[in-house]
Chains A and B, each alone.
Chain A
Amino acid sequence: MSISFKLTPKFYMRLSMVLALLIWLIVSLIDVLQLLAVRSGVDLGISREIPILLYDFFYVFIIIYYRLRIKEEDGGNFVDLLWRVFATGLVTTIISLGFKLFYSSIGDSALGQNEFLRIFTHGVNTAVISIFLISTFTVWKKLILYQKSRRLVVYWNAFEALVIASIFFNITGFTLRESLVFQIVFILMAIMAIVLSGNLKWVAYLNFKQKWKAILLIVLITIYVFYFFAELYVPPSESAAWLNSIDNLFIITLFTFLLFYSVFSLLVILFNLPTSSVFERKMEEAINFQRLSQSIQTGETEEQIFDILLTSSMNAVYADAGWIEVSNEETSTQFINRNISRESINKIKEQIFSSRSRTVMKNPLSNSNSETDRVLVTLKRSNFKSVFVVPLTVQNKVSGFMYLLNEVSDGFNKEMINIINTFASQASVSIENFKLMGEAISNERYKEELDIAKRVQRALLPEVLDHDESFSIHAFTIAAAEVGGDYYDTFKLSDHKFAIVIGDVSGKGTSAAFHMSQMKGIFQSLAQMDLPADEFLFRANKALSQCLERTSFITLTYFILDTKSKKLEFSRAGHCPTLYYDKSKKAAEYFQNKGLGLGILRNDGFRKFIHVNELEFEKDDILVLYTDGISEATNAKGEEFGFDRMKTLLEKNAHYDPVMIQKIFISKLYEFCGTKDLNDDYTMVVIKFD
């Protein structure tokens, strides 16, 4: 079975403490033995370096312990840190005073003269005082490195390394009074300590009460430091000379550094006391500012934002009263008031209008609009002597005003006005965001509705086109917007007769899409009646006359294809002329017959504009039906794709099947326009006879 250790920082902390204690016990034991040996005249053979070195390691382990311990704490509360130093100092003082009391009580008795006891008490004293010094050192480190810069960290690390190295300086046996090296090193480190003591950023973050507490604690800590220094300075007269702590560079440096930093921070806190209320106010402003900018996320309403604005602004400028008035949809005006009644508001507004003493300030954010000027007014016959008026703009429109009142004249200085400007513009941004969010949500909903419309309309166009083995048919369509006005459809009239239609509603988009769906209904109803092509158009025109808008019309070509007799009958209602490829002639041509769009003439006169055409088709003849989105597509130079280009294109590619012909047409179209975004609906249907 094995015991597994978890090497957590806590474990290391305990380990270093235990080691420090052990070392201290060993050193004390050696001291006692040494004393015994001196008395008995025996040389123990222990060199003088061994107890010093051991003592040095005691310091090292204490430093390790406190370094680990301070890391565990989450910093931020400086008063707590100071309190801990004070508490450690208190315990140390009690122990040290306790020994003193004990000695004075036993006086000159035999026990009082006992050297063993004196060595022991001196050892304990030195140990607890050095523990206090080291723990304070680590706390000071934390304070100095608050909001550290890279340079500061480098500098501190150098200092700390020197301090730790100085632990082992006592092995050399140099003393302060005799050794020049000692003096130089000490002065060098003292200068470093002074420079480091300038880092007191944490003081700024204490509020007024915390500053008083800190002053008290630091004063007490300083007293400790002095007391302990005095305590150590008087060593037991007969103790071994090399244990005289005052000649320990490490301890002296610590004393110096702790003292410097304590005095510095004490002075800085004292000088900061009068300005701390300003700092607190600035912090509050920052928090209010944050509240204003965050209010949108917490789902607050416009009114709540104005409320926060008024409260924060009043606090920031010590206003005695104030109100915000916001006009909603030009009809009602909403008031948010503080420390002032609606009646007084009206009185003061009258006085503001009549007052001659007014200062107009430009809005720093919009320089041209005089509506957004801020006005500073001085009143005479009122409780309130000065008024500051701030227009509140939302989406570049003045939607309300904030009035701040002060009982003293000239109650608003430049600083305050700047703060109010910032608050007001932040509130505007918040409200703007609030409104934009609402707009974005409704836009999203429209988009969804349009997506549905798109799917529904797509379903109106046939997925499978009616045909038999004597011809193949292929269709292709694209709408410029989500929905469009192009239409094609087929209907099987009998085993060998098919109705095919292509159409285009005037205009684009949603209105075109509605008319297109009406056309679908009319086609599907009338086709069942197996009417001649002209009769179909006549009836379709009559039906559409009742439901089309005044300026809307539909162009259409209606085909009846008989595969048994190989005859094609068709009528054109103002739609683009059909392109026909005649295999025997190896040439394509357009059917230039007369016609008139549906819905243009909404009476029986329409009939005389419609003609029926008939022709017989042969194998490999091709019909290309299309909408003007293809023939009238223009390129950057303003040229149309045009009839000639389409004719040549069909003649060149007549050997392909309908799918291939469509693909060639569309790719040539895109190539011609230089884009796939044609700004119009475009459709083509290709029929090839087999």
Chain B
Amino acid sequence: MIDIKKEQQNNYLQISVEGEADASSAINLDKAIREAFDEGHQTILIDCTNLNYISSAGLGVFMSYIEEISSNSINFILFGLSEKVLKVFGILGLDQLLNIKESKEEALQALNGI
């Protein structure tokens, strides 16, 4: 089960992902991110604080946006990943391609630093 909430802040869109991103729920995650991209958001923060588990299908969703992020120069930042989830990103090597921050403060700092 996955629960996705979208929240428009002053200068960024925050997508909160809660629960488990597995083969069946990854479609919902993909839909939410796709919408955000299509709406033309330049700054997107993904809150993974309550993401308990991510399967390869869930990783595949994030992976599929890597090229779009770099070609459209979108600020796409993930934060609040649990140790377990972060480890999965690390093994696959996705941590080298995605902007991952420890907390929301760090994510916002990184935004302001630009």
Residues of A that sit less than 8 Å from B by CB: 504-508, 550-553, 555, 573-577, 594-597, 599-603, 609, 628, 632, 640
Q: Is B57 an interface residue (CB 8 A)?
A: yes
Main secondary structure of the interface of B (DSSP, over half): helix
Chain A residues contacting B67 (CB-CB under 8 Å) are 601-603
Q: A640–B84 Cα gap in the complex (Å)? A: 9
Chain B residues contacting A552 (CB-CB under 8 Å) are 60
Which of A508, A603, A609 is the one whose CB lies under 8 Å from B93? A609
Which of A555, A594, A600, A640 is the one whose CB lies under 8 Å from B97? A600
Chain A residues contacting B30 (CB-CB under 8 Å) are 551
Q: Closest CB of chain B to A95's CB: distance in Å?
A: 93
Given contacts A506-B56, A551-B30, A551-B57, contact A596 B92 (CB under 8 A): yes
Main secondary structure of the interface of A (DSSP, over half): loop
Q: A594–B61 Cα gap in the complex (Å)? A: 22
Most chain A CB atoms below 10 A, which of B61, B66, B67, B92: B92
0 or 1 for each of B30-74: is its CB under 8 Å from A? (1 = yes):
100000000000000000000000001101110110110000000
Please state if A594 and B93 are interface contacts (CB–CB under 8 Å): yes
Given contacts A504-B56, A594-B93, A597-B93, 6 further A-B contacts (CB under 8 A): A506-B57, A507-B23, A553-B92, A574-B91, A597-B63, A628-B91
- Across chains A and B, the number of contacting residue pairs, with CB separation under 8 Å, is 66
**Tally of contact residues, B, Cβ under 8 A:** 20
Q: Is B111 an interface residue (CB 8 A)?
A: no
Please name the residue on chain A nearest to B27 by beta carbon.
A551
Q: A609–B84 Cα gap in the complex (Å)? A: 22
Please name the residue on chain A nearest to B59 by beta carbon.
A506
Please name the residue on chain A nearest to B94 by beta carbon.
A600
Please state if B23 and A508 are interface contacts (CB–CB under 8 Å): yes
Q: A555–B84 Cα gap in the complex (Å)? A: 18
Q: Is B10 an interface residue (CB 8 A)?
A: no
Please state if B60 and A506 are interface contacts (CB–CB under 8 Å): yes
- Complex A-B: 13 CB contacts under 8 Å: A506-B56, A506-B57, A507-B60, A550-B64, A551-B30, A553-B56, A553-B59, A553-B60, A577-B91, A594-B96, A597-B93, A599-B63, A600-B92
Please state if A551 and B63 are interface contacts (CB–CB under 8 Å): yes
Chain A residues contacting B84 (CB-CB under 8 Å) are 640
Chain B residues contacting A574 (CB-CB under 8 Å) are 91-94
Chain A residues contacting B91 (CB-CB under 8 Å) are 555, 574-577, 628
Q: Closest CB of chain A to B19's CB: distance in Å?
A: 13
0 or 1 for each of B71-114: is its CB under 8 Å from A? (1 = yes):
00000000000001000100111101100000000000000000
Chain B residues contacting A508 (CB-CB under 8 Å) are 23
Chain B residues contacting A600 (CB-CB under 8 Å) are 63, 66, 92-94, 97
Q: Closest CB of chain A to B89's CB: distance in Å?
A: 10
Q: Closest CB of chain A to B45's CB: distance in Å?
A: 21
Given contacts A507-B23, A507-B57, contact A596 B93 (CB under 8 A): yes
Top 10 nearest A-B pairs by Cβ distance?
A: A596-B93, A506-B56, A551-B60, A574-B92, A551-B64, A550-B64, A574-B93, A597-B92, A600-B63, A506-B60
Q: A601–B65 Cα gap in the complex (Å)? A: 10
Chain A residues contacting B66 (CB-CB under 8 Å) are 600-601
Please state if B92 and A551 are interface contacts (CB–CB under 8 Å): no
Q: A603–B23 Cα gap in the complex (Å)? A: 26
Chain B residues contacting A553 (CB-CB under 8 Å) are 56, 59-60, 63, 92
Which of B26, B64, B93 is the one whose CB lies under 8 Å from A595? B93
Chain A residues contacting B64 (CB-CB under 8 Å) are 550-551
Please state if A551 and B61 are interface contacts (CB–CB under 8 Å): yes
Chain B residues contacting A596 (CB-CB under 8 Å) are 92-94, 96-97
Q: Closest CB of chain A to B61's CB: distance in Å?
A: 6
Q: A449–B25 Cα gap in the complex (Å)? A: 27
Q: A640–B66 Cα gap in the complex (Å)? A: 29
Most chain B CB atoms below 10 A, which of A573, A577, A600: A600
Q: Closest CB of chain A to B17's CB: distance in Å?
A: 16
Q: A577–B88 Cα gap in the complex (Å)? A: 11
Please name the residue on chain B nearest to A608 by beta carbon.
B96
Chain B residues contacting A640 (CB-CB under 8 Å) are 84
Please name the residue on chain B nearest to A552 by beta carbon.
B60
Chain A residues contacting B61 (CB-CB under 8 Å) are 551
Q: A602–B67 Cα gap in the complex (Å)? A: 8
Please name the residue on chain B nearest to A596 by beta carbon.
B93
Chain A residues contacting B63 (CB-CB under 8 Å) are 551, 553, 597, 599-600
Chain A residues contacting B88 (CB-CB under 8 Å) are 632
Q: A397–B3 Cα gap in the complex (Å)? A: 32
Q: Closest CB of chain B to A524's CB: distance in Å?
A: 24
Please state if B97 and A601 are interface contacts (CB–CB under 8 Å): yes
Q: A553–B66 Cα gap in the complex (Å)? A: 13
Please state if B56 and A507 are interface contacts (CB–CB under 8 Å): yes
Q: A595–B90 Cα gap in the complex (Å)? A: 9
Please name the residue on chain A nearest to B26 by beta carbon.
A551
Please name the residue on chain A nearest to B57 by beta carbon.
A507
Most chain A CB atoms below 10 A, which of B56, B59, B92: B56
Q: A659–B71 Cα gap in the complex (Å)? A: 49
Please name the residue on chain B nearest to A550 by beta carbon.
B64
Q: A38–B67 Cα gap in the complex (Å)? A: 138
Please name the residue on chain B nearest to A554 by beta carbon.
B56
Q: Closest CB of chain A to B49's CB: distance in Å?
A: 17
Chain B residues contacting A575 (CB-CB under 8 Å) are 91
Q: A573–B91 Cα gap in the complex (Å)? A: 9
Chain A residues contacting B57 (CB-CB under 8 Å) are 506-507, 551
Q: A551–B56 Cα gap in the complex (Å)? A: 9
Please name the residue on chain B nearest to A548 by beta carbon.
B60
Chain B residues contacting A594 (CB-CB under 8 Å) are 93, 96
Which of B23, B26, B92, B96 is the one whose CB lies under 8 Å from A555? B92
Chain B residues contacting A602 (CB-CB under 8 Å) are 67
Please name the residue on chain B nearest to A507 by beta carbon.
B57
Q: Closest CB of chain A to B75's CB: distance in Å?
A: 19
Q: Closest CB of chain B to A122's CB: distance in Å?
A: 101
Q: Closest CB of chain B to A590's CB: distance in Å?
A: 10
Q: A596–B96 Cα gap in the complex (Å)? A: 8
Please name the residue on chain B nearest to A602 by beta carbon.
B67
Q: Closest CB of chain A to B29's CB: distance in Å?
A: 10
Please name the residue on chain B nearest to A575 by beta carbon.
B91
Q: Closest CB of chain A to B59's CB: distance in Å?
A: 7
Q: A553–B92 Cα gap in the complex (Å)? A: 10
Chain B residues contacting A507 (CB-CB under 8 Å) are 23, 56-57, 60
Q: Closest CB of chain B to A618's CB: distance in Å?
A: 27
Q: Closest CB of chain B to A105's CB: distance in Å?
A: 108
Chain A residues contacting B94 (CB-CB under 8 Å) are 574, 596-597, 600
Q: Closest CB of chain B to A508's CB: distance in Å?
A: 6
Q: A632–B55 Cα gap in the complex (Å)? A: 10
Most chain B CB atoms below 10 A, which of A505, A552, A602, A603: A552
Q: A596–B57 Cα gap in the complex (Å)? A: 16
Q: A508–B24 Cα gap in the complex (Å)? A: 11
Q: A597–B89 Cα gap in the complex (Å)? A: 10
Q: Closest CB of chain B to A591's CB: distance in Å?
A: 12
Please name the residue on chain B nearest to A632 by beta carbon.
B88
Q: Closest CB of chain A to B20's CB: distance in Å?
A: 11
Q: Closest CB of chain A to B98's CB: distance in Å?
A: 10
Q: Closest CB of chain A to B76's CB: distance in Å?
A: 15
Q: Closest CB of chain B to A681's CB: distance in Å?
A: 10
Which of A504, A551, A609 is the one whose CB lies under 8 Å from B96? A609
